[in-house]
Amino acid sequence: MNTKVIFHCLGISQKNYFMNFVIPITILAILFPIIILLLVPSVMEGVLFLGVMLVPIALFAMVIIYPISSLEGKKKEIDNNIHYYITHMGVLATSQMTRVDLLLKLSHTEAYGYLAKETGRIHALIYYWHVSFPVACRFIAQRTPSILFSDFLDRMAHSVQAGQDFREFVLSEQTVVMKDFVTMYQDSLNSIDMIKEMFISMCMSLIFIVAFAIIMPIITGMDSILLLGGAIVLFIGTEFVILLYARSKVPADRIWHTLEIETTADRRIKWSMPVSLFLCIIVTGIVVPFSKLPTTIMFATSLTPLLLTGLIARTEENKIKRYDNNFGAFIRSLGGAAGSRSGLILESLKELISHDFGPLSENVNNLYKRLRTRLNTPRSWEHFAAGTGSNLIERFATMFVEGTNVGGKPALIGDIISHNFMSILSMRKLRYSSASSLIGVLYGMTAGIAATMFLAVSIIAMLAKMFSNVSIPDIDIGISIATISATNIPLMTTMLMIMMVCHSLMSAMLIRIVDGGHHFNTYTHFVGLVWISALTAELTIQGMGPLLGL
């Protein structure tokens, strides 16, 4: 791995990193066990000794892992914004802005994160250090963590050096960079299938560990609750690690807008959560003390009110998807109409309000009314984007306004935005398809886990009932009758339902990570998975009861 790239991302020289971080942490790692040994010598035994020795190892690992994780984070941040960046550059290039001013404009766009910072460095090299444009581009290309951005900078440096018109280059790069982005996005979608297989395989393996923890005390005489608790912690911990891995691999493609304007949809979602929690408390207060429902059904019933928040978030999210489907046609029509009217956006929009843009029509009418006041054009477009709730519309509408305000050609701007918008939308649809297939797999797997776990509990309950009145012999017969008789079946059932609730939450969060939706949308599948767990568990218990004589 190129150390030049790593320390460029950290914003610190290699020498300073070693002086300020590596050496102090190394000294601390060496001195820590010595100090502990001198101050508290009694802890340097057994498990505590192992814990003390793990601290220096963790410190050394942190020194090595932090630069690499920082590099990967910056790389992902650039790759997740490169398609917006090239579209924005193409929009601004249709005006008479110089190359340097265009870079300055892009570097001030906070939404690009580290990509804006890298662009600012190129501008600083050109403007303050008087480095030539090609040399500045190549300097950053050799140090940026993203291969996509590095290749783009190399091509831009070569284009400028060869004397190609900058506008022609940027317009031609729309296709090149978007194809690279689509390839990268498709690779990420392929990783979703790998994550799905990993999640299923690990869960299937861990099921046997939990089932073994339920059955093992019969043979060994160990505390069944302690053994089951450890197995459950291992099960949930492994799922959580896979969840973090999935989050690092799946592209961050936000659906909801980031504007500070609070819409009706935002208020509905915001207030639905306290209402859902209040209803959960009320239902739990009624079901637990006064109901004779089985423990499994009690869990599901108590969490059901969360479905309210999930359904509201899901409904609003579906509206956003419909707005996105119609925005490409709208912005292309607006750009074409404005191009034929010498860039007059308001007059062009007046002609378009009579057209049907599906669910977007009402938002277009509201946009026209706001623009007609001639008070604040950018703010009017922000309200338009907030009204749709879409992050895509927010970002591309902002580009359209900026491009037309600096004298860009509306028709060309509309074509660029529309084409790239539809490319991104097609990738999103593939992502939604992957999420849909994942949903079916997780629901089926959850039912299988619940059936396996509660089948084991039913067997233990049968053995406990069988040996409850049997006197304990003085000889070893291969099983621990005392352990079987003392098994707390209700507590074991409760622990397994807690495990299933945690598994349902992890599965719902995995679905949310894959489809990129609102985090409140998690509750829809969370409640559904909990109910699948509860019903499967209860059917298993009731179905196996007569067969096992319970």
pLDDT of residue 487: 67
- Does residue 260 or residue 120 have the better pLDDT? 120
Radius of gyration of the chain (CA): 30
Is the four-CA dihedral 394, 396, 400, 403 of positive or negative sign?
positive
Q: For residue 402, which amino acid is it?
A: E
Cβ atoms of 195 and 242 within 8 Å: the answer is: yes
Residue keyed to tokens 């996005």: 185
pLDDT of residue 63: 86
Query: Rounded CA gap, 116 and 350, in Å?
Result: 35
Query: Rounded CA gap, 112 and 106, in Å?
Result: 8
Q: Point out which residues pair with 256 in neighbouring strands.
A: 390
Cβ atoms of 97 and 105 within 8 Å: the answer is: yes
pLDDT mean over 448-472? 76
Query: Rounded CA gap, 35 and 33, in Å?
Result: 5
pLDDT in tens, 264-323: 888 898 899 999 999 999 999 998 887 788 888 999 999 999 999 999 999 999 999 999
pLDDT mean over 48-67? 83
Cβ atoms of 146 and 79 within 8 Å: the answer is: yes
pLDDT of residue 44: 67
Burial class (CB in 10 A: 0-12, 13-18, 19+), 408: buried
Q: What is the pTM of this model?
A: 0.87
pLDDT value at 474 more than 60: no
Longest dimension (CA), the chain: 101
pLDDT of residue 479: 53
pLDDT in tens, 190-226: 888 888 888 888 888 888 888 878 777 776 667 778 8
Cβ atoms of 259 and 388 within 8 Å: the answer is: no
- Which residues lie closer than 8 Å to 226 by C-beta, 6 or more apart? none
Q: What are phi and psi of 89, to 5 degrees?
A: -65, -40
pLDDT of residue 67: 87
Going by the DSSP 8-state scheme, the letter that residue 94 receives in this structure is: T
Burial class (CB in 10 A: 0-12, 13-18, 19+), 144: buried
State the pLDDT confidence band at 475, using cuts at 50, 70 and 90. Answer: very low
The percentage of the chain sitting over the pLDDT mark of 70, rounded to a whole number, equals 93
Cβ atoms of 412 and 488 within 8 Å: the answer is: no
Cβ atoms of 339 and 409 within 8 Å: the answer is: yes
- Which residues lie closer than 8 Å to 328 by C-beta, 6 or more apart? 418, 421, 422, 425
Mean pLDDT of the chain: 87
SS3 at position 459: helix
Q: Which two tokens stand for residue 93?
A: 């290039």
For the chain, what are the domain ranges? 3-79, 82-164, 182-253+269-304+425-548, 320-408
pLDDT in tens, 399-411: 999 999 888 899 9
Taking alpha carbons only, the member of 508, 544, 533, 519 closest to residue 446 is 533
pLDDT mean over 102-113? 92
Q: What are phi and psi of 374, to 5 degrees?
A: 55, 35
Where are the strands (E) in 396-505, listed by range?
none
pLDDT of residue 527: 95
**Torsion on CA atoms 401, 403, 408, 412, rounded to nearest 10:** -90
Cβ atoms of 449 and 199 within 8 Å: the answer is: no
pLDDT in tens, 131-170: 999 999 999 999 999 999 999 999 999 999 998 999 999 9
Residue keyed to tokens 């300073």: 16
Query: Around 277, how many Cα atoms within 13 Å sit in the side-chain half-sphere?
Result: 6
pLDDT value at 468 more than 70: no
Buried-state track 308-327, b at ≥16 Cβ within 10 A, e below 16: bbbbbbbebbeebeebbbbb
Taking alpha carbons only, the member of 255, 198, 196, 174 closest to residue 429 is 255
Please give the span between the terminal C-alpha atoms of the chain, in angstroms, as a whole number: 63
Query: Rounded CA gap, 5 and 108, in Å?
Result: 23
Instruction: Give pairs for 132-140: CB < 8 Å, separation 24+.
Output: 133/99, 133/100, 133/157, 133/160, 134/158, 134/160, 134/161
pLDDT in tens, 278-290: 999 999 999 888 7
SS3 at position 486: coil
Query: Rounded CA gap, 26 and 217, in Å?
Result: 45
pLDDT of residue 308: 93
pLDDT of residue 510: 92
State the pLDDT confidence band at 481, using cuts at 50, 70 and 90. Answer: low
Query: Rounded CA gap, 549 and 527, in Å?
Result: 32
pLDDT in tens, 433-454: 888 888 988 999 999 999 988 8
SS3 at position 256: strand
